[in-house]
Structure 1
Amino acid sequence: MVEPERTGRILPVDDPVLEKVYAELARSPWHDPRTLAAATKLTPKEAREALERLLDMGAAEPAAGVPLEAAVRPPGAVSAAWVGRLEEQVLLSHRAVESLTQQYLAARGAGSTSTIRQVRAEEMLRLFAAGQDSCRFSVRGIAAPPFAQTLGANDERQMKAMDRGVAYRTIYAAEALNLPAARASMLRTLARGEEGRFIARTPMKLVIFDEDMALVPTATAAPNHSSESLVIGRSALLDGFISLFETVWEMAMPLGGEGETDVDLGDQERELLCLMAAGSTDLRIARHFGVSPRTVERRIRTVLDRLGATSRFQAGALAARRGWL
């Protein structure tokens, strides 16, 4: 079933009939009882009762010289008081959400009441999921192999967070670009709006939720043991990690989506990008198109130049942003 279109309202009560009568009188103040009823598709009695309710709530007032002996007040005057009360309630709700979010994070070892503690891998993964579910505006991360989760396992949670307006910025270690599963996951999230950059060597792994909590893997034990991470709440130490992220972000190279030129590619060029993003070798691409490897190299360089990309993966990221893959 198609959901009816939602519209704003002027009156302090949610009553479509009153809204209809008010709007009609705002547009046409010279109605008499008969024409008002016809215009609003009400009976004359229903139209009169609606007008009386508008008078009672102050949305209309007695007026001489018009057939109904009443006129509606300006929309701004009618809505100002109750919209002001609503805005105040929204502000109070935001404050309540922020307060409860701090309690939520504190109960999980990451609020202002717990500045720093060490956790095992299982707890870190739980906090990683909870942090994304509760964050309000941003997730910043530095990612490098080996990864604690199966590559792609977090994509759906990240996309849901981005759909509600959370901005993701991730710095990837260059070695991650050599992993097919990592490349596929990056292309999915970049296409949905993640900002990504890469750097030859990352100083550490790190994820920061808003400005409330950071997870910092500190050591990876032997294969049969769990890794350990630090959970850092609001503190000078967290501020330091935020500054570190921003510094590394400025040093890193964009994966795509930044500084793009307005360029459109042909079908064969887009097909070439798909093969590149899938990790196909020049020889395999040459066989696919029935051309020489040298021709493939020349075409790839042309596509990279047109996109303003410096690597195959960056070209793939740009293509993903545009929905070409």
Structure 2
Amino acid sequence: MSEDDRSAHLLRLGLSKSESVAYLAMLDTGPTTVPALARRLDQAPLDTERALARLSRLGLVASHGPDGSRIAPIEPSIGLGHLANARTAELQQAHLAAMDAYRTFRRQVHPQAVDHLVEVVTGPQIVERIMQVEDAAATEVLRFDTPPWHTGGTPNPIEIRNLERGVAYRIVYSKSAVENGDYYACNIRPCIAAGEQARVLQSLPVKLGVFDQQLAIVSMAFGDAEVNDSMLLVHPSSLLRALTGLFETSWRSAYPLHFGERVPPALRPIQRRILELLGSGVTDETIAELLGISRRTLSRQLEQLNRAADATTRFQLALYAARKGWI
């Protein structure tokens, strides 16, 4: 680590520039006198005395020699620990002050809102807040995913990064989300491949995200979004618990969109994916588009599946697939 780096770290702990420079110089020279150190630093002896006096109060330097006329650096763990604790306390006070100021702002701007319960976010701030909240997720993200998308239906690199660092994702997609070929290719498939657990329902009542069970984002689904371009942030409350319960109920009734990486010996990988998409309720045309195959190829694969299951209907095929562990 360079001397500039050391000085920068000491400044962050609360030393002044002159104090950090004096301390680092003494680490090079060892025991010294105030005049000698002042000459080395090219500063007035009085300025050096002030810096050394504070370093002494912090427990970073001490008198040295039989007559105490020299001064030397001492083992810094206690002194630096005091500085670190002081900075932590200052940051906590700043955090409390900022939260108090924000609560005052909320009461002035939205006096009708229930404090600490719901925030209303509109306009261009929506995308920024969504990204901030998801980027801060620590353990789990639950989501109802349905059009329209505030982020434009683009890839989600934040989710990929979160999955890589161990954040669990459980997503319930609407049928309309899965049917969107571009969204399926750029968002759904990469996230599932990265470890997302995905299921699908015919439709979803709202757009919802629950983050670490500490914050929920709620916005309108397809029908209402055009007349209400807004988003709610719901903080810990009975409402947040109700939204989490809504997700869990929907999750239990949703159909798996991805059955895992294991492909049964009786199936080819493409046949496994066809079964996955059949369960989502999308049309044959959509399945062919999502898989990048022709309708003719899809029909041929379905015929092979039906022959293997001795099935004449898709219901029979589903029963056989469940009994054989294909799904």
Structure with more contact order per residue of length (Cα contacts < 8 Å, sep ≥ 6): 1
Q: Distance in 2 between matches of 1:52 and 1:94?
A: 35
Q: Aligned pair 1:220/2:218, yes or no?
A: no
Q: In 2 relative to 1, CA 27–173 (structure 1 residues): closer, same or farther, beyond 3 Å?
A: same
Letter paired with 2:40: P
Q: Is the deviation greater in 225-234 or in 211-220?
A: 225-234
Distance, in Å, in 2 between the alignment partners of 1:93 and 1:141 is: 33
Could you tell me how far apart the structure 2 residues matched to 1:177 and 1:149 are? 17
Aligned partner of 1:93 in structure 2 is: 94
Name the counterpart of 1:132: 130
Aligned 8 A contact 1:32 1:67 in 2: no
Which structure: larger Rg?
A: 2
Q: Within 1, Cα distance between the matches of 2:21 and 2:126? A: 49
Instruction: Look up the match of 2:115.
Output: 113
Residue 56 in structure 1 maps to residue 53 in structure 2? yes
| Shift in CA distance, 283/91, structure 1 to aligned 2, threshold 3 Å | same
Residue in structure 1 matched with residue 173 of structure 2 by the alignment: 173
Change (3 A) 1:207 1:125: farther
**What is the CA distance between 1:97 and its match in structure 2?**
3.9
- 1:156-305 aligned at under 5 Å gives the runs 169=169, 171-173=171-173, 175=175, 176-186=177-187, 190=191, 195=196, 197-201=198-202, 203-208=204-209, 211-212=214-215, 214-217=217-220, 220=223, 226=227, 231=232, 233-234=234-235, 235-246=237-248, 248=250, 279=290, 281-282=292-293
- What letter corresponds to residue 52 of structure 2 in structure 1? L
Tell me the distance in 2 between the aligned counterparts of 1:209 and 1:254. Answer: 20
Any idea what the Cα deviations from partners look like across 1:215-255, whole Å, max 9, x if unmatched?
A: 2537826x9x7369895745412221123335655777888
SS for the counterpart of 2:153 is coil
Instruction: Tell me the TM-score normalised to structure 1 length.
Output: 0.51
Q: Give the alignment of 1:17-96 within 5 angstroms.
A: 18-23=19-24, 25-26=26-27, 29=30, 43-44=39-40, 46=42, 49=45, 52-57=49-54, 58=56, 59-64=60-65, 69-96=70-97
Q: Name the SS for the 2:16 alignment partner.
A: coil
Q: CA deviation at 1:89?
A: 1.5
Three-state SS of the structure 1 residue aligned to 2:144 is strand
CA distance in 1, matches of 2:67, 2:195: 59
How many residues were matched structurally?
A: 251
Which residue number corresponds to residue 9 of structure 1? 10
**Residue matched to 1:142:** 144
**SS in structure 2 of the partner of residue 152 of structure 1:** coil
SS across alignment from 1:8: helix
Gap runs ≥5 in structure 2: 263-288, 302-327
CA distance in 1, matches of 2:231, 2:41: 71
Question: 1:12, 1:79 within 8 Å by CA — same for their partners in 2?
Answer: no
Matched to 1:60, the amino acid is V
RMSD of aligned alpha carbons:
5.7
Partner of 1:320: none
Q: Separation in 2 of the partners of 1:189 and 1:96?
A: 42
> Residue 187 and residue 240 in structure 1: after superposition, are their counterparts in 2 closer, same or farther (change >3 A)?
closer
Measure the CA separation in 2 of the matches of 1:18 and 1:73.
14
Shift of 1:61: 1.9
1:238–1:150 CA distance, 2 compared to 1 (3 A): closer
The structure-2 alpha-carbon separation of the partners of 1:67 and 1:168, relative to structure 1 and needing over 3 Å to count, comes to same
State how far apart, in whole Å, the 2-side matches of 1:103 and 1:187 are. Answer: 41
1:150-195 C-alpha deviation (Å, 9 max, x unpaired): 7436969x78x98xx9x7946242632331221244169849x895
2:123–2:230 contact (8 Å) kept in structure 1: no
Instruction: State the one-letter code of the partner of 1:220.
Output: G
Structure 1 173/72 Cα, relative in aligned 2: closer, same or farther at 3 Å?
A: same
1-side partners of 2:231 and 2:198: how far apart?
24
Q: Distance in 2 between matches of 1:81 and 1:110?
A: 44
